[in-house]
Structure 1
Amino acid sequence: MSRACGGDRNNMALAASISRARERSVPKDTIEAAVQRGAKIRSDDASLSEVLYEGMLGGIGVIVEAMTDNRNRTAQEIRALFRKHGGALGASNSVAWSWTRAGHLRVDAGDRDAASLAAIDAGALEIDDTDEQHLHVYVEPSDLRGARDALDKAGFKSEADLIWRPSRRADVPDVSAFLEAIDALEHHEDVSAVYHDAADP
């Protein structure tokens, strides 16, 4: 994701990517190196383009967002990763047809009731309070920045990102193998985000 925004840490998508990496206990030095590498690639090559890949892994739908300067190379490598882990890359809209694009805010909520009210005032379509540490607020993509600013003004810090949300969740037959496949996709140098419709793998 650092490629897409030139390493700008104020970019919502990059900030969210860094947060996800921290949640997975990726070392600080590794995160910093990835941000700097992406920023350098962006400055050296203006021909980068965003691409979306869709596929299946053991009956689980997967959407991969990537940034590349060579669509053919990246497609071949992502296809190879799916195959290596027993899955298959599909055609455009083979998975995304049943998903929706949404704005997502992960809100630090000490006072959950007050944070929920602030989120509603900020335009929340849905609030998930099952996370003990954060509220997960979903808004229309076009309302994401405004909602984040409104929550910040109300005193609630949040991390914002555009995500893909599946309309259903499916059980994973082999959790270990599935997580290994997702990890391999997430560590591909061109991949900025990976989404799936697995039920709590």
Structure 2
Amino acid sequence: MTEDAGPYPRTNRRARVVKPLDPARLEELALHYVARFATTAKGLERYCRRKLRERGWNDDEPQPDIAALVERFVRSGYVNDEEYARVRQGGLLRRGYGARRIHAALDAAGVAPDDRHEVADGEARQAALRLARKRRFGPFGPDGVPPGDRALREKQIAAMIRAGHPLDSARELVDAADRQSALAWAGMMDEDF
């Protein structure tokens, strides 16, 4: 190796030239995207706009109507915001997130409030219980929260709040006397969990 070659030898490869998009290629990219990823109408629109910025548009063609493309995908059933919201909400609940965090995730995805389902109180409590058990909060810790350890209690409550649970639910769960009372608070039995 010569001194000026640096740590990697040079190759004779040329940079790949990306052709500007045309209507057929934009639709092909959009179709490939919705086939691979669950998305919303707003998510598909963002993707198409990003591809236009990255690759440009063929000057021989009229400017694309991205809104019409997205609407066509919605009518065809390739994109369904209500179904996306249902699946995403269920996944976040199973991971232990609360209603506030779920609404934030759906807002970020561009799901309209009309396409969402409200989180039931029982579902929210079970999600809080899952998070507490997974993170070993309150009675699910090795020794529970010792009565004098205020800093640990506040840290656990803060984590529950960041996960989207209300303050009163976080306090109730972290301060539960034992596992059975925490399960009873969530309306669950040991064999359910």
Q: Which bracket does the TM-score occupy, shorter chain normalised?
A: under 0.3
TM-score, with structure 1 as normaliser: 0.17
More strand by proportion, 1 or 2?
Answer: 1
Q: Which has the higher contact order (CA 8 A, sep 6+)?
A: 1
More helix by proportion, 1 or 2?
Answer: 2
Larger Cα-atom Rg? 2
